[in-house]
Amino acid sequence: MARFIFITGGVVSSLGKGLMAASLAALLQARGYKVRIRKFDPYLNVDPGTMSPYQHGEVYVTDDGAETDLDLGHYERFTGVAARQSDNVTSGRVYRDIIERERRGDYLGATVQVIPHVTDAIKQFALADVDDLDFVLCEIGGTVGDIESLPFMEAIRQLRNELEPLQTLSVHVTLVPFIAAAGELKTKPTQHSVRELAALGIKPDLLLCRSEHPIPDSERNKIAQFCNVRAEAVIPALDAPSIYSVPLQYHEEGLDREVLRAFGISDAPDPDLSRWHDVTDRFFNPEGEVTIGVVGKYVGLQDAYKSLNEALIHGGLANKVRVNIRWLDAEMFEQGEEDLAAKLEPMHGILVPGGFGERGSEGKISSVRFARERGVPFFGICLGMQMACIEAARLAGHAAASSTEFGATEEPVVGIITEWMSEEGLQKREEGGDLGGTMRLGAYEAKLAGNSHVHSIYGSDSISERHRHRYEVNNAYREPMESTGLSFSGMSPDGLLPEIVERPEHPWFVGVQFHPELKSKPFDPHPLFADFIAAAVRQSRLV
């Protein structure tokens, strides 16, 4: 029987519900339980696929091709459990499905309403595919009191009544601010937030209280008294020096113990937290450091590259070094070579990540050229690989080489893909069609050349990696690009779509069409990132 943990937040956003859910799941997993985490997002977009990174951070992609909330990245990184399309639902998706059913006549003439139709759809989502699980953690996006989240709150209330006793648990994440002028912590925001939740029919069983300062026992007792919970169920959540120390911190505060107690579980095995101790030891006790320059478009908001940021840290963990990331706006490299050299010469590695649109593209191409000419380790991801191919084509004499993503071009080294093969068969897209959900999304296989650098990194002839892109490198330009020393070391199984390029004579130069950062974990760093940081370590010894 699966047990359900519903996680809500109050007072303000960005309290860390996603990180809390991931950490709690990791602690339960460390005790031998099978877990899965789901995210309920109240916004009306069907998914975040068409949203600007500045609006919502990165779009996380699952193996089965879902474009999801970035919190699913936390879930995967902390548990190693691959997220699925069914693990993220939005109000937009719920309403779209209900309206489609209404148009088909599935409701047999009934009046379609929020209750029961919308709440029933939410409950079906929460209860789907849980037979083999011990715990299902469901995070509700937004804050208590938001108009958008009311149907989700109502669905939770109903589930808590409909499921068996001791089968559900409510965890409320709230804020205990420190007022500097008064020199004291304030519990009133937490009290009001719990009261707001109770007004919706949901009594929290545990309170996770975010604070910048330790919460004295007197204040914990006060919160417990006013919020109708046990004092032990008021769990302090202090700011942590690293997100990877959060599971250990929550365990020390008794979070997993109190969760099991609330479910009436007294015979749980002790947790094996050895891998988290190893991760934190590597993070806080590095044997060196390297500096990586990330030349991107959305560098003003690091959440736009959340998985990339974490994957670079994981590469550092694999090599026992600290990775200092310098976020560099690609547009500033379009002003002149002096700016380019001044910013990139101190770097031990250069990474050009994915992105959309023409802005900053010439700066990214200049960064590729700098890395190639100076022998600096280079890693191109998605658009970054395409920029490396355009740079190679220009080096081969195709001065007008560009991408059709940036407009009409005489030399379309990169062009829009309108059909490709997947496990479901031939996929087709119209060039002027909808943007949402129409890219090559999810896991696709690639075949690796046996004598290539990437083959030695992966140790395999075939790999599966996650994609999210609409444009592909044009195979018609392969020969001139290869004449410059660029090797096509990874191809789609049918040999039509370039997946990986590299420069064998370069210290480390790899471009990939997919997003390896989406599969990296602190206790299992992605091999490409581990090898890239190893190359950066070697570069650091040369400068």
Query: Which residue matches tokens 């929460």?
Result: 126
Measuring CA to CA, which residue among 144, 219, 154, 155 is closest to residue 187? 219
Of the chain, the end-to-end C-alpha distance in Å amounts to: 58
Identify whether 517 is a catalytic site residue.
Answer: yes
DSSP 116: I
Query: Which residue matches tokens 């044009």?
Result: 474
Identify whether 348 is a catalytic site residue.
Answer: no
Enter the tokens of residue 312.
Answer: 């670079």
Helix residue ranges per DSSP H, 31-175: 53-56, 71-79, 91-104, 119-127, 150-162
From the list 172, 455, 515, 526, the catalytic residue is 515
Which residues are bridge partners to 294 per DSSP? 327, 351
Put the strands of the sheet holding 401-403 in their side by side order.
Answer: 401-403, 411-416, 471-473
- Distance from CA of residue 519 to its chain's centroid? 9
Q: Work out whether the CA dihedral 12, 13, 18, 23 comes out positive or negative.
A: negative
Q: Residue 168 burial by CB count (10 A; 0-12/13-18/19+): exposed, middle or buried?
A: buried
Q: Up-side HSE of residue 131: CA atoms within 13 Å toward CB? A: 1
From the list 382, 389, 455, 467, the catalytic residue is 382
Q: Give yes or no for a contact between 46 and 17, defined as CB atoms under 8 angstroms apart.
A: no
Question: Which helix H or strand E contains 454, and what residues bound it?
Answer: helix 453-458
Q: Give yes or no for a contact between 447 and 497, defined as CB atoms under 8 angstroms apart.
A: no
From the list 227, 310, 517, 526, the catalytic residue is 517
3-class SS at 315? Answer: helix
- Report how far residue 142's alpha carbon sits from residue 238's, in angstroms, rounded to the nearest whole number: 21
DSSP per-residue codes, 395-440 = HTT-TTEEEGGGS--SEEEEEE--EEEETTEEEE--TTS-STT-SE
DSSP per-residue codes, 229-240 = S-GGGEEEEE--
Enter the tokens of residue 286.
Answer: 């590095």
Enter the tokens of residue 211.
Answer: 């604070």
DSSP per-residue codes, 199-212 = HTT---SEEEEEES
Q: Which residues are catalytic?
A: 382, 515, 517
